[in-house]
Structure 1
Amino acid sequence: MSQKTYSKMWANAQSELSLLVAEELPDKSPGPVSDREAFFEHVATLYVRYIQIFRQLEMVYDQLVHPQKREVVRGVLDGVMGRVLELKREMVDTQLSEFHNMDEILHSLKLRPVDLEIPIPHYFITEHSQERTDILKDIAMSKAITIIQAAERARQGRLAAKLKVSRTIKSDKETYSEKEVSAAICIQKVWRGYIQWRTFKTAKESTTTVQDAKMHLHEIIAQTNEACTRIKQQEHEEDYQKSIAAITQELQDKGPDMSNSMKDQIRQWFLNCRYATGSFPDYPDEDDGGGALLLADKDPVQLMNEIAAVKEAKKNDNAKEKGDKKGKGKEKKTKGNQDEELEMQPSAFLSDLQEGNKIYEDVWQTCDESNNFYQRHVVQLIKEEKSKVIDAEIQVQVDEEMREELAQLKLNVDNIKDKTKKGKGKKNKGDKGKKGKTVNDPTADRTLESLCQELVDQNLLKMTYNVSFQDYFGNYSYLGTILKKYDIEATPSLLDVRHVLTLYAVLPLGSQVVHEKAPLINSILLVGPAGTGKKMLVHAICCRTGATLFDLSPMNTAGKYPGDEGLNMMLHMVFKVARLLQPSVIWIGDAEKMFYKKVPKEEEELHPKRLAGALPKQLKMIKGEDRVLIIGTTVDPTCANIKTLCKTYGKIIVIPRPDYGSRFILWKQLIKKQGGEITKTLDISSLAKFSDGYTPGDMIQVIKHVVTKQRIRWQGFRPLVTAEFVRHFKKMDPVYKKKEEALKKWYAKTPLGKKQVALQKKLIKND
């Protein structure tokens, strides 16, 4: 599509966004609501509408080449992502569940379940730090070279040994005759000819059809266009940055003349005030506007009255705020006897969205780009923006100098000392007296490369597998709302798990703005039976955000960095490198072992609980600016101390065994991925029903056993049959209902689970 098409898409997204933001303004918000279902429907509708805008803006930002437009779209895109996360928090607080059924909302908005898919911006990967990638590549390369060298030395040793043996045999026996040599050569020729013929035949059979070739050609063209777009974006961005530097330098060169002009106007204002009132005025504070107020073309007396009115209004506002706080405290005391009312929490992103809408309406909505065919930057906009910044910087310097000059005038002419100067001096002394806590860094003298190398050698820093979130197959749960009407709790699908992790892990790790301003999530616990894809999800999060992966699993850290000093050094190195190479994911496999109620005898020597005390302390030190996420995975959380486990992990996601819809998609996609063909002889529906209770990991094992390379060759003569897959399930154990019920009972003891149980009891009493 052309750049004009994406500009129209941006215009449509902004118009929809402006309507949505207008609905969320305080004067149009519904206010406190006592009906929980009505409040959830309102929030969920906003959530779905924001996702549609999110999808459009992500596509626009990925394809636009105009650097200034992309700058504006990026700000709005981050704001929309943050607002989606805030609405998700509201939905969780309302229903007290991480998973929601929105069938009726989709029906009312005339949308499909696919429209609930959370898009992952491409810039998470394309704009991540190249320095971090280079460091990890160099370490991986050096490790690979070491392995290759070891393998080559072993090969040379084997060859030397074989050569010795062959020489001893030759010395004992007679040499071969000429007839025997020619016979061996003849056999070699025939065998090589047969191998070549078989390779040619296989290549001929696997030649794609004309339709496949066309599809492949379209893919190549699409990839080429995408690469060209990326190159244009980079070229235009470089030109834009060069232009900013040149214009900034040009404006800074004019700075002294502007400064002198401002000073002359302010001096004239001093004299006018002295002439009109008989005394020199007070200089306006920075909060009131500083010297910029004095440059306005107004009468001195009128201007002084306006400044005094602004100060009086501020005092009244502060008094009102204090009164409101006292009133809120009283309300909280008397609110216990009243019915619970639900109200949306203040948003940290609505102001950003309003600002983005204003910039679009003021600049880009009416901008004439008929002469800007190549979508280069607009120089005039850079001048206007940078002149404001430089004017503000010059104004601050002028204010400092003119305050001193005014104080000197008061002292020399009226013999009045400036009291504010003494107060400022006292504050500065007080500021100097307060010393912040100095953090000792035991690795201050070491480079980042050396720390990474040590962590790689200790197997604590790992390379991620190339896994996509789309490979975590699942289907939408279509019966959730219907089951809820009959008081039946619907089991979430694997697709719901993918959506939740995209929101809680991928978006905050990918965007610095979202991570700083959205509700902070610094730890997630994935709970589920073996084979449900917990480890795969961890690697998918890293791949989709370009995050660095660290492994602090109890079994991986056993025997490394012994003692308390060694433990502190290990955690210090891991978290230091994680912050320097952010975004980062710290994975803790078998997370329950860290909080064992009672350590098994066979694991006592491994000290699995050694991180239990130190890890929560490090977790508290993760702030909004640190894009570091701890992800724990566990199969059996019931053997852990639930209080300490829940204190460590802020979000607990239980991954269920796949439902029928997810199993149907899993069988179909996994067989195709392995190279199998889906024909009429292979009943996927029967396989999905028969595999009830089995995990995706079990299905993958069965498919690998059945769809082998040899079986793929024979598919044309003997298609795949359902019975081939069924017989392999006899050797596997499914996830029994006892295990599933045990996990549900355990989750009911978690903080969110307790609230959910209490809410259900309350609703039953009201009915």
Structure 2
Amino acid sequence: MGRLLELKAQMVELDLSEFHYFDELLLDLKMTPKDLEVPLPRCFLRNWTEQQRLKHTIVSNILEKQRANQTTSSVPVLNLEEAVRLLQASERARQGRIRARFMTELVQSERDGRRHTWRPTHLSLDQAAIQIQKVWRGHVQRRIANRERTEEMIFLGMIPAEPPGPSPAQLQAQQVSAGLRLIQDQNEEEYRRAQLSVKQSVLRVEGTDMKETLQDQIRQWFLEYRDATGRFPDLPDEEDGGSAALFAQKTPEQVSAELSARETEREEKKKKKKKKEETEVKTRTRTRTRTRFRFFYSEFTTVSALSRRLTDVAQMFPAVSSLIFLQHTEFSEMCGVAVTTLR
């Protein structure tokens, strides 16, 4: 399978397309498109059939449960006219069935009466033989005509041909295949039972010894770690492999160095994350300040234009010019201080 995937990748690189056309190649090799079909192994087909059967069983059980849980549908309410029409149709159908049954019985009784009523004929032996031959030959010719017509229709392709029955060799091969499948199923079931029994026996017989051995190894590792570093270690986290990391072919110093390196890496990640958060906070603060400055600047521009208009008015009215000039100067100084602060 891996080799086929490699070949497919190479063909895609050569053709620059996911689809490949083998028309000319098939003509050169005198092959048909059917020859390119990859046959599926029988074991795959068999497993697929079993899976489909299992899925069908599961779906059937679910549907049955749903039908059981569903409440009975409410009967539709009919008005008087619809109810009368429904009753009339039912009654007419009942009368029609009774009449049809009566006519059938009448015709059958007449036919039986003619069959059982023997009437003597005045035919001679030769005439009777000729009559019997005529009926039999007509029956034979009708059978021959039907067979020939069927053969002609099959030859013209107007009706499908009847598949021939299996030969004795095919029947024997089918029986052998069925026997092999039965033996295979029995062996597989026996293997599963043996595997389960072996697992249970191992757990029952050697489970206690294995548990004690692992405990001794963990205890010895903790002691070696204490002798090497002067303190008892922490049990490795699940991300680091858990207790399985203790059974690696490493010394306590190597394990301690790895744990320290991982702890340092985690701290660096935390610092980077914290620094990133601080940068984001500063960026948001700077953006908010710039937005406020733009808003204040627009307001300041509007007020400045208004103050210029007031100055023009003051020039027109000298009596209030000193007051307007003083207020305009104070307001300009306040705006300048505010702009400097926001920057």
Q: TM-score range by the shorter chain?
A: 0.3 to 0.5
- Tell me which protein shows more helix as a share of its residues: 2
Higher relative contact order (CA 8 A, sep 6+): 1
After TM superposition, the score normalised by the length of structure 1 is 0.22
**TM-score normalised per structure 2:** 0.42
